[in-house]
Amino acid sequence: MKHSSEAPHSVYGVEKWGKGLIEVTEGGEIGLRNPLAPEAPAISLPGILRDLDQRGIRAPMILRISSYLENEIAHINESFAAAIARADYKGCYRGVFPIKVNQQAQVIDRIVEFGQKYDYGLEAGSKPELVIALAHRLAKEALIVCNGVKDAEFIQLAILSRKIGFNTVIVLESPKEADTVIEVYNELGIEPLLGVRVKLTNQISGKWEESSGDRSAFGMNTDQLVAVVDKLRDAGLIQCLKLQHSHLGSQVPDVNDVRRAVGEACRYYTELTREGVPLTHLDLGGGMGVDYTGEKKATENSINYTVEEYCANVVETVAYAMDEAEVEHPTLVTESGRAVVATSSMLVFNVLESTLYDAPNGPEVEPDDHHMVADLAAVHGYLSHERLQECWNDANFYRNELRALFRRGYVDLRQMARAERIYLSLMARIKALVASEHVETDVDDQLEKLADIYHCNFSLFQSLPDVWAIDQLHPIVPLQMLDQTPDRRAVLSDITCDSDGKIDRFILADGVSPSLPVHTLPEDDDYYMGVFFVGAYQETLGDLHNLFGDTNVVTIDIKPDGGFDLLHEQEGDTISEVMAYVEFDPSDCVAAFRKMVDEAISTGTLKAKDRKTLMSAYRDSINGYTYYE
């Protein structure tokens, strides 16, 4: 597909998905804009990488932009405030950030800092996350919402934290959890702040459809809910039940699903209120989506609403339901994770080399060539736009026949190599014809199978696990040469030894494509790729496949003058660190290696003077980065 009258980079659709934060500079590089200083020029991302490289910080790396995070927190909080004012809503908004979405200290610390003025709190889905939350000085009115399965220790810590001023809400997930809370209360004599998690029956469309509705793993059905209310009343704790929680789902694509689910949550809230439960907070969980593709549609990787529309829909739906039931407007709580952090991080890696499925020219036919090699080469003679499909068919027929003959021993290695080279040269001409003219045959689609493989310095499993596990799409684009028409198409392969470690679905201006337009790799310069909106879930879900560890992580801020400040650097895992994760003791390994070196010297297979080189090579590797250096 050509975009001949447009800029060479228009194929990537950066304007569509870049959210005004990411754009292409006049110099043909990806530029980053500071949303908090809209007048400031975009700063070149390759320029940032060059600067970091001089400081000894290299790709692959995760680059976090502090102002993007600050901007999203402000955006959500201010959008709720505006919707509340517009609807004359009587309650307020108190958001919490779900720690599981990005547990990195640098991220949580900044979220707490930027959230102070909005009384923004934290959501903890486990004991470790509660421990992290309690190490942060939150604003006085901010909440800590505890979800997930809780044992007595978790509950005890949550209750005790109220003594030092935390508004820690224990959300009861089951009647059994209510029993544990009552037991801990009886021991401590301190009243807890409680919530109940209600399972909504409305199903949410999108990737997480299965985990919403009746079959969702968390929350209580009406029968369990009533049982919990009765238990609390009997235990004299009903006055502590202040919050009703339901998680709407994740990456909800359609805003009408949000309305429906919020409407249902309100029915529970008003019914519980009618029962005399003194609820004050309605927590609607996460789910606000990110428009990864920029399509603005209710599809798996996009959403059909803006942050402002989401907030307005929530506020209006709750106001309407409460007014109708004559119930006081509750404090609104949401647990948006993805929408808060996804945009603020990007993964940057360099391309190491390419495997091409075409060749600029093939060898001339020689008299000794097998007749099918000559037939294959003869296709060059009638290759034209009109006979494209025929040439494609013939080239593949002859190549496949020759491969069969090779397997049976009728064609030797050198003949086969000549045939492959001729075939690749035909493919190069076919690709050029398809690129230059409109083609109505299926050759265009077939050519996708001949896309180059660009071997890249990252691990899909460590850095983009959702791309592998749930076909998540992220915008991916070369960071440089964007003033030049991309002359090749490629899929991206990572450096794990796993054939699943590849990316072969890309967001382009006109839809999702199995290959990415790229440039011929420059001979004397790095060629970088950027994967955008990776701040949610990716860092924590990533694993150590092939023992590729955490990448370097750099947090920067974009200065109004167009430069940047390096706020924090976290070096990626060393080999010794990843060895320790899998319970190898690096010093034991050094000792074992040294023993074998010394034995080799004793037996005379190694010279004593080579001992130092061998030991340094081993030690340097152990202390080095797990990625290609």
List the one residue from 69, 76, 101, 395 that touches ligand PLP (CB under 6 A): 101
* Alpha helix positions (H), 277-387: 307-325, 338-341, 371-382
Identify which of residues 119 and 173 has a Cβ nearer to ligand PLP in the complex. Answer: 173
Please, what is the minimum distance in Å from the beta carbon of residue 85 to ligand PLP?
Answer: 24
Euclidean distance between CA atoms 295 and 507, whole angstroms: 10
Between 49 and 78, how does the x/- string for binding to ligand PLP read (CB under 6 A)?
A: ------------------------------
Q: Is 98 in the site for ligand PLP (CB under 6 A)?
A: yes
- 104 vs 59, 107, 120, 336, 550, CA distance in Å? 19, 5, 18, 17, 12
Is there binding between residue 42 and ligand PLP (CB under 6 A)?
no
Secondary structure (3-state) at 174: coil
Distance from C-alpha of 258 to C-alpha of 249, rounded to nearest angstrom: 9
Our CB check for ligand PLP shows the closer of 247 and 519 to be: 247
> Per-residue x/- marks for ligand PLP, 118-137, CB under 6 A?
-----x--------------
CB 492 within 8 A of CB 476: yes
CB 592 within 8 A of CB 574: no
* Distance set, CA 361 to CA 326, 376, 427, 449, 523 (Å): 79, 14, 10, 20, 20
In this structure, the dihedral spanned by the alpha carbons of residues 377, 380, 386 and 387, taken in order and rounded to 10 degrees, is 0
Taking the least distance from each CB to ligand PLP, the nearer of 288 and 579 is: 288
Give just the sign of the alpha carbon dihedral 250, 251, 255, 256.
negative
Grouping H, G, I as helix, E, B as strand and the rest as coil, residue 116 is helix
Looking at beta carbons, which residue is closest to ligand PLP?
A: 286
Residues between 277 and 296 that touch ligand PLP (CB under 6 A): 285-288
Least distance from ligand PLP to the Cβ atom of residue 418, Å: 55
Site string for ligand PLP, 406-435 (x = CB under 6 A): ------------------------------
| Identity of the residue, 122 or 372, whose beta carbon is nearer to ligand PLP in the bound complex | 122
Q: Give the residue with the Cβ less far from ligand PLP, 286 or 530.
A: 286
* Residue closer to ligand PLP (CB basis): 112 or 597: 112
**Contact criterion met (CB below 8 Å) for 152 and 158:** no
Minimum CB–partner distance for residue 542 and ligand PLP (Å): 16
Is 147 one of the binding residues for ligand PLP (CB under 6 A)?
yes
Q: Per-residue contact track with ligand PLP, 238 to 267, x per CB under 6 A?
A: ---------x--xx----------------
Residue type at 555 in one-letter notation:
T
Q: Which is nearer to ligand PLP, 253 or 287 (CB)?
A: 287
Q: How far is the CB of 252 from ligand PLP (least distance, A)?
A: 8
Binding-site size for ligand PLP (CB under 6 A) equals 17
* Site residues (CB under 6 A) for ligand PLP, limited to 305-364: 335-339
CA distance 518 to 564: 28
Q: Six-digit token pair at 398?
A: 């002859």
Distance CA 124, CA 50 (A): 38
State how far the alpha carbon of 553 is from the alpha carbons of 290, 463, 567, 570, in Å. Answer: 22, 11, 11, 5
Binding region for ligand PLP (CB under 6 A): 98, 101, 123, 147, 247, 250-251, 285-288, 335-339, 536
